[in-house]
Structure 1
Amino acid sequence: MQKAVPIAHLKPALDELERLGHSRSQLFQQAGIPLPASEIITLPVGEFIHFYGFVLRMLEGETSHRSDRQPFTKEVVDLMCFCVINCTNLWEVVERAAAFNRALGPRGGTIKAERHGGWAEIVVDSHRRRHDFAGLMVDLASMNLYSKLFSWLIGKQIQLTKATVMYSAPDDPLLMLDFLGVPLDYGQSANRLILASSYMDMPVVRSYAELLQVIDYFPFDSWATSCPYEATSISDQLRVLLMGVMQRGQPLPKLPAAAQLFYMSSATLCRRLREEGSSYGKLRSDCQRDYAEYLLKRTDLSIQEVAIRMGFGDDRAFRRAFGKWAGYSPSDYRHRFQHDH
């Protein structure tokens, strides 16, 4: 059973989109959540991640439109990753990311690193004209993306000391503004990630081949691990990743790729999961079942279409798998749910 996240965590973002002219009920429909907005109190983790990412992309589109610029696409993020993969250390990574942004012209932002004694500051500026709530949300997602990418490149999760933003504190307390794992210092002159200077000299330990394994799943962290869901165990964090991947219609990552995204080896990930009484195979199966049940209950997709969305080669294989999971055929499961509701 999936844990649920209160939709109230997204209220400030939804209020902002409504202020910009978007109907709340239409936002749910556009995100593929076929329920009247008035009835939605909580969403399963996977659906919340999907809707959360959709809301952030809508906000990014609005802020980019107001600045007469195109939003960053997945292709642009991928190209930046390929651009920095052969760097020697993290300092060089930031310098090359800065050059990449300059090459984008008006579409790019600014990123630079500065040393101050034992500390380093990575300054991130998207050059947004308005420093409002929408800009804050989008800039935090960008800062989180850089933080996660840099951590992956050096094979170690960067523990930030502090983060500052050039925005006023929002009126509503918002759990999901804890994107970066540290308190935010509002109203500052720049968006900064502050970390120990020693991180900047750490070598890049990832290879081009390893990047190919995980490139399809970047920037999942920007939406998934920063959502207001207390995924404290590795099992919970992995569930968040897998549900988010399926919501985006991507194939589930293999064990080596999943382990990379959590800054550990396959053997270490398996050991950590065993200590929590789980396994990668079990989590994959549980997430597939949860998502299959959602598609059968909440969409009008045919059984064959559900099978394709789930990554099965044909509907017969899906029917066999679902029968093992639920004890019913997909058609019987859908009929029982519709009868009970």
Structure 2
Amino acid sequence: MGSIGSRSVTVHHVRAALGGARRLGIDTAPLLQRAGIPPLLLGDDAARVAPERFAHLVRELHEATGDEFLGLGSVPSRPGTFAMMCHLCVGCADLGAAVRRAARFYGLFPGGPDLALERHGGEAVFAVRNDLGGHPEGRFLAESALVLFHRLASWLTGRPLPLRWVRLTCPPPPYAAEYALVFGCPVRFGRPGSGPAAAAAFDARRLTAPVVRDEEALRDLLRRAPAGLIGRPGPAIAVTVAEQVRRAFVHALREGRPARLPEVSQLAARLAVSPATLRRRLQEEGTSYQRLKDQVRREAAVAHLTEGREPIAELASRLGYSEDTAFHRAFRRWTGTTPGAYRLHGAVRTQRQPADHRGQES
């Protein structure tokens, strides 16, 4: 793990990231070389490295130490721990639930990060309460956990999470100005023992921001994370408005029995735009509210008709149709056949359909 600036990473953070491997007796020179970082660079206090090289180094350290904490903590974190935490988070309805679940998950591991989420009036505060080790790099690990939280929160909701302030319980280091670039907000410093090792505050209203990522998006993220989240200049939030709307529909179908798919006005309120702006942005992305709604319903219907034995009337209700006759009409429009016929011959019909059929509007 590690902290980074807006365009490059200070050599101080590179040294800190290497501390655990060195204590384990691992030769770090080959790791640096594979990451494209000249070992001699570490002797220059003014040196900086590109974010992608730092991310590469973090991946090398993960593999060399067999520890997601890079050998920096009081106990190792087994590979796959972060991924399992993410799988738990994407199933949450909103950001607040996801952060609380992550905190409870890591609380199961003695010696791991002691995470907390508190609300004080209109402000939410996420804190790493322990420094994760009794050596100087332990502070670096706590700071990195804060960076990871911030970027993962932005990724989960598909929107940047603006921070109001960050507090680190350490004297300001010579490179203190770096932290404002990392977090995009004022950073306060304090004496050790005066509070959590690292904490960040944001608008408490963001706790209700819906989680718009799903398992498919998570699989893509985990091919690069956690190093990919840390080794980039900003949060990984590339997500279209259409994707956010689509994820809201998927979540509603998953949670509701019967489903109550959000209206345009409700989706617009979640995304902090007007209904007209939402419609315009969807149009700019080549789709519409109704088209996305039909696509999600159609894909869910096809999956359940092919794989399950749920009565068609119950399936229609679960997909948000007040009458099963309306579902029959929609399904015939989508596929050219009835739900019952599709259940009997769906596999054959699917093989005969053109590859882009499911993405077309009916």
- 2:150 pairs with 1:152: no
The answer to whether the 8 Å contact 1:119/1:195 transfers is yes
Alignment of 1:47-126 (within 5 A): 47-51=53-57, 60-64=69-73, 67=74, 69-71=75-77, 73=79, 75-104=80-109, 106-126=110-130
Judging changes above 3 Å, is the alpha-carbon distance between structure 1 residues 223 and 15 closer, same or farther for their aligned structure 2 residues? closer
Aligned to 2:145: 142
- State the Cα distance separating 1:153 from its structure 2 match: 1.2
Structure 1 or 2, whichever has the larger Rg, is: 2
Mapped partners of 1:79, 1:100: distance in 2: 9
Residue type matched to 2:238 in 1? Answer: F
Judging changes above 3 Å, is the alpha-carbon distance between structure 1 residues 217 and 129 closer, same or farther for their aligned structure 2 residues? closer
Q: Taking every aligned residue pair, what percent have the same amino acid on both sides?
A: 18
- 1:115 partner SS: strand
Residue type matched to 2:84 in 1? Answer: L
Between 12-21 and 176-185, the greater mean CA deviation after superposition: 12-21
Aligned to 1:247: none
Mapped partners of 2:143, 2:216: distance in 1: 29
The answer to whether the 8 Å contact 1:13/1:134 transfers is no
CA deviation map 1:48-95 (0-9, x unaligned):
54236657998944432xx2x11353x111000001111111111122
Mapped partners of 1:6, 1:148: distance in 2: 17
Mapped partners of 1:208, 1:219: distance in 2: 16
Residue type matched to 1:163 in 2? Answer: V
Alignment of 1:242-253 (within 5 A): none
- 2:161 partner SS: coil
- 2:172 partner SS: coil
Aligned to 2:206: 199
The answer to whether the 8 Å contact 2:166/2:199 transfers is yes
The answer to whether the 8 Å contact 1:87/1:204 transfers is yes
Judging changes above 3 Å, is the alpha-carbon distance between structure 1 residues 6 and 94 closer, same or farther for their aligned structure 2 residues? closer
Between 204-213 and 171-180, the greater mean CA deviation after superposition: 171-180
Mapped partners of 1:169, 1:16: distance in 2: 19
The answer to whether the 8 Å contact 1:111/1:122 transfers is yes
Alignment of 1:1-341 (within 5 A): 9-11=10-12, 13-14=14-15, 27-33=28-34, 37-38=39-40, 46-51=52-57, 60-64=69-73, 67=74, 69-71=75-77, 73=79, 75-104=80-109, 106-130=110-134, 133-173=136-176, 175=178, 178-187=181-190, 188-190=194-196, 191-226=198-233, 261-264=237-240
Structure 1, gaps ≥5 residues long:
227-236, 242-259, 272-341
What TM-score comes out, normalization by structure 2 length?
Answer: 0.51
The answer to whether the 8 Å contact 2:37/2:53 transfers is no
Judging changes above 3 Å, is the alpha-carbon distance between structure 1 residues 213 and 169 closer, same or farther for their aligned structure 2 residues? same
Equivalent pairs, count:
227
Aligned to 2:292: none
- State the Cα distance separating 1:182 from its structure 2 match: 2.2
The answer to whether the 8 Å contact 2:113/2:130 transfers is yes
- State the Cα distance separating 1:119 from its structure 2 match: 0.9
**Cα-Cα RMSD:** 4.0
Residue type matched to 1:120 in 2? Answer: A
What TM-score comes out, normalization by structure 1 length?
Answer: 0.54
The answer to whether the 8 Å contact 2:14/2:54 transfers is no
Mapped partners of 1:204, 1:79: distance in 2: 17
Judging changes above 3 Å, is the alpha-carbon distance between structure 1 residues 173 and 26 closer, same or farther for their aligned structure 2 residues? farther
Aligned to 1:283: none
Mapped partners of 1:89, 1:19: distance in 2: 35
